[in-house]
Chain A
Amino acid sequence: MKLISIKKPAFPWFGMDIGGTLVKLVYFEPKDITAEEEQEEVENLKSIRRYLTSNTAYGKTGVRDVHLELRNLTICGRTGNLHFIRFPTLAMHRFIQMGSDKNFSSLHTTLCATGGGAYKFESDFMTVADLELLKLDELDCLIHGLLYVDSVGFNGHPECYYFENPSDTQNCVKKPCCLDNPFPMLLVNIGSGVSILAVYSKDNYKRVTGTSLGGGTFLGLCCLLTGCETFEEALEMASKGDSSNVDKLVKDIYGGDYERFGLQGSAVASSFGHMMSKEKRESISKEDLARATLVTITNNIGSIARMCAVNEKIERVVFVGNFLRINTVSTKLLAYAMDFWSKGQLKALFLEHEGYFGAVGAFLELLKSSEEA
């Protein structure tokens, strides 16, 4: 018989996902701290908790997504709230410096980290802050985190949603749904780049393919084309633009539908195709350019995802990643693309905690690692 030590890991409980553009951090705030515990608690642990939970912004670029907070979560025998925090990867060095300043290493906690940055910044953590990282595979974390959040739900509501009538813009509405029997699913993670996984069970999955045309491409091109600086700015511009001033549509070439091949006149024939003309380049607005960039990247991801779903014979396509944050243009476009091009065969699903599953997965590993210790 194997004795499982249920020795809990030391607080604070973090999970971190260091991506190409953004660092995602989940922090568990225990709400069941006894008076006795409180007395024993060291000062800097308290200060970390206070700092994180009483602010919604950290420095110039750190943000807590308050609306995503998972409340009254019981995990590993403790009850509390799970907080979701993000900041640019560019600020990573400042973050590590802060860990050093706050003497984080004295707390003897394990820092579970996933994403490429876990590897890239490993030695910086060690040399600057005397912190050893527990490095975790990002795809394992992604799947584990996703399944966990879906299983606990979103404060009493389903985590998952889809769009009803995706091919009808007038009547397209967001609907919650349950991911009770999620397998097999095609998981499309849109971060700076895109990874596409076929997931058959919690531990059985394969990376089908990926594309370098992802969120980083959208933002990168938008910055170059419009001079904007942030994702929010880029999306704001895109929401006001009209991509048909930038893209060449089927009807621009054929005067209407290309019936021989069943292509609608409104379909995009050539992304940025109008920009081959000098006159049009000179008269185009930044908003139109931002919109066209967003539509181009989104449609391309949709197209690759759809082909993978057909090749892998999977009907359920789940889109996650921070590219989809506050980005209903893309979510609706993806829902439409899956439905329309597959003639209703494929269904696009989305999750409320879009980009945080890797971090949640890392956080779960922290608890698991101490269980087995």
Chain B
Amino acid sequence: MAGHVGGTEGGRNSMDKSITLPPDEIFRNLENAKRFAIDIGGSLTKLAYYSTVQHKVAKVKSFDHSVKEAEGDPVYEISVQEEITARLHFIKFENAYIETCLDFIKDHLVNTETKVIKATGGGAHKFKDLIEKKLKLKVDKEDEMTCLIKGCNFVLRNIPHEAFVYAKHADPEFRFQNTHPDIFPYLLINIGSGVSIVKVESEDKFERVGGSSIGGGTFWGLGALLTKTKRFDELLQLASRGQHSNVDMLVKDIYGGAYESLGLTGDLIASSFGKSATTDKQFSKEDMAKSLLHMISNDIGQLACLYARLHNLSTVYFGGFFIRGHPVTMHTITYSINFFTKGEVQALFLRHEGYLGTIGAFLKGAEEDNPNQYSWGENYAGSSGLMSVSPDINPMQRARSGTFSFDMLEMDRLERQLVNLPLLQDPSSYIPDTVDLTEDSHAREYWLSCFEEALDGVVKRALASQPDILEAAERAEKFRQKYRHKLQTLRQQPFAYGSLTVRSLLDTREHCLNEFNFPDPYSKIKQRENDMALKYYQKVVRALEDLSWEQRQFALVRGLLAGNVFDWGAKAVSDVLETDPGFGFEQAKQQLQERPWLVDAYNQWIERLKGEPHKCALFFVDNSGIDIILGVFPFVRELLIRGTQVVLASNSLPALNDVTNNELHILTERIAGMDPVIQAAVKDDRLTLVQSGSSSPCLDLSRLDKVLATVVRERRTDLVIIEGMGRAIHTNYYAALSCESLKLAVIKNSWLADRLGGKIFSVVFKFEVPPKTQGLH
């Protein structure tokens, strides 16, 4: 491995070439990279490339039915295949390393089809020749503002929790915004050396409505003159230690107190630098830097408010090198916006603000591939979190310590386009997650520890899923390191990837497993459990048929709940399953809480069943094996008999022991073979299988497969059933739908049960009917 990149031609002494790039972490998948874009700013370079990633995926395939399988043969076969997926890589490093990085790319670039590199940013011109010489690519310049806006639209659309408000004295300092389905219109205030104020109305329509020459360059230039401090970061550090009231003339300096009739408080700045005009004394560098920072931030904030008001916009994002993750400037800008709008407008910042230009330049170059027709997802395994590289660390100190600091963002192209569930009552206020662990430090502590403790088990399971592969142990160990490191990062910086939630912790684990080619650690377990459960299916259905209607309805619900006890995602259960594989369906039922349940809407549900049958039920299913086969299918069967169509939504890709769409197709086929009711329903298209578009044990109803949304709309779905802890408790517990909904789960975690006021194996059975909409019927 060419880890060390030595100096090649010498010359520029500002270039640091003695640095060692960590090849496993940086410029990943460069071998398959095609299509580059670069954004060179005043101090940072941002590089983007598109690459393909070869992944192992677990596929299931039904055995050929013409060959009668022997007793004991599994229900389907599992094979691991290579699949190629698309990924966007973004990396940010200091300009000083640009030559080192270009050399590294040159040495690793295999693809020769690439002919051009899209470039933007003020430094693109300066480094044009170097790039063309090193990479033998033609530099193709793109308009800075167009790139910025394109990039901004892209992150707002594809990254949940991209935008946040900053509150210096709050805990947490970062409060993430829910992604609004419609991101337009908004105002983008880009604070570079000057300020540009851009109104963005749609993907292609934006206008620079104004600007100001007092920006980051003014802070830097004037600051350097006043304090003899050269670097921007150092100036900010000076400012953060200063007292502006020593330099500024405050209202109280003029009035002796507040100017009460106008409501101007005494501490308000009446005249920036006003004291240096009237006193001869020496001012400290710190105080002058602070005064300058306030002057510029307040001025920008004021203009932003005036433009927001003129254009009647309340969504205002701030970016540019003046902001770029600096808590000091985010604070002063936020303060200014609050002051001038009296809290009506919030200053919003973006997690990936530094990447907007390069993302936009890349998208310009990739227009032929139409990247906007896909949905993309942030890969938590390959992305550095917010503040991973503190802007406050002096780059010179970093250089001396010999570490190459960089920040990365990786985005996976999702196979399917994701949209809102059409049945959300208000898509703009929908929040999938029940608890925000960024805000709830007690819950955060519990869950971080919980995931840490579960790590050994996950590693063991991953290893067990690939018994014949020699280097699996090495990969499993790398997975352990990576995920442990992520958990440690999140303990320090819970805001690293947006709001921290149980869902994001689970998703990060899935991403890390995939990263090290453990696409489906539970494949064999799922296979075995499915196999076992299928054998009981007919017996269970027959037993149900013998019951009276009332008894049967209750048995069906209990079956659904008992099935849900079989969950490898829950620690308490995985312990039991690990030690006692014979833990059966009946035993599970005995574990269940007796009625009244913790949340018990069973009576309302039964009353409802006595009425008109539902037209169509959308069922988000959970686990493989007993859950889906002995719990869900009998329940679905009853719905079908009642005349309700059923849409079963399952994960597109594996997560824990959740049943995947592929597996569900095979299982449905096998059940149809045993059960004429299911067979007829499948044949008449009254029972439909769709994929959710998700690969998470949780469920985000604002990011679902477009096909699912279409089916839901066409079938006039009037009942949504969400099953399991991940989908109905950790997420969607408070989700408001525009149709009737059933949320049910068994709480298999004593801490969570305790939080909800119950005990382990408590039952949540929530039946919700939306308020009647006027004008219907």
Contact = CB atoms under 8 A, between A and B. Distances in A.
A323 B495 CA distance: 47
B213 A193 contact: no
B299 A213 contact: yes
Contact of A193 (B216, B270, B276, B299): B270
A311 B225 CA distance: 36
Interface string A299-331: 110011001101100000000000000000000
Given A120-B254, A193-B271, 16 more contacts: A192-B270, A193-B269, A215-B271, A217-B274, A220-B273, A223-B277, A260-B145, A261-B145, A267-B213, A269-B193, A270-B218, A271-B213, A272-B220, A273-B194, A273-B217, A276-B221
Contact of B212 (A191, A207, A303): A303
Contacts of B225: 225, 272, 275, 281, 289
Contacts of B254: 19-20, 115-117, 120, 192
Contacts of B210: 303, 307
Interface string A268-293: 11111111101001000000010000
A219 interface: yes
B295 interface: yes
A270 B220 CA distance: 10
A116 B217 contact: no
A119 B255 contact: yes
A212 B306 contact: no
Given A211-B299, A300-B212, A276 B273 contact: no
A299 B213 contact: yes
B283 A224 contact: yes
A260 B143 contact: yes
Most buried by A among B248, B273, B278, B309: B273
Nearest to A300: B214
Contact of A307 (B194, B259, B306): B306
Given A220-B271, A248-B193, A275-B225, A269 B213 contact: yes
Interface in B201-224: 208, 210, 212-218, 220-222, 224
B302 interface: yes
Interface in B553-603: none
Query: Majority SS of interface residues in chain A?
Result: helix
Interface in B118-159: 122, 143, 145-146
B212 to A, nearest CB: 6
A273 B195 CA distance: 12
A213 B208 contact: no
Contact of A20 (B215, B216, B230, B270): B270
B299 A300 contact: yes
A272 B340 CA distance: 25
B385 to A, nearest CB: 30
Contacts of A110: none
A20 B194 contact: no
B259 A116 contact: yes
Of listed B42, B221, B302, B340, residue having the most chain A CB within 10 A:
B221
Nearest to B219: A272
Contacts of A20: 249, 253-254, 270-271, 274, 278
Contacts of A120: 254-256
B50 interface: no
Contacts of A21: 271, 274, 277-278
Interface string B467-501: 00000000000000000000000000000000000
A221 interface: yes
Nearest to A117: B254
Nearest to A253: B122
Contacts of B251: 116
A110 B161 CA distance: 64
B170 interface: no
25 contacts: A21-B278, A116-B255, A119-B256, A193-B269, A209-B306, A212-B270, A213-B272, A213-B299, A214-B272, A216-B273, A220-B271, A221-B273, A260-B143, A260-B146, A268-B213, A270-B194, A270-B215, A270-B218, A271-B213, A274-B221, A275-B225, A276-B217, A300-B212, A308-B306, A311-B306
A281 B213 contact: no
A311 B306 CA distance: 8
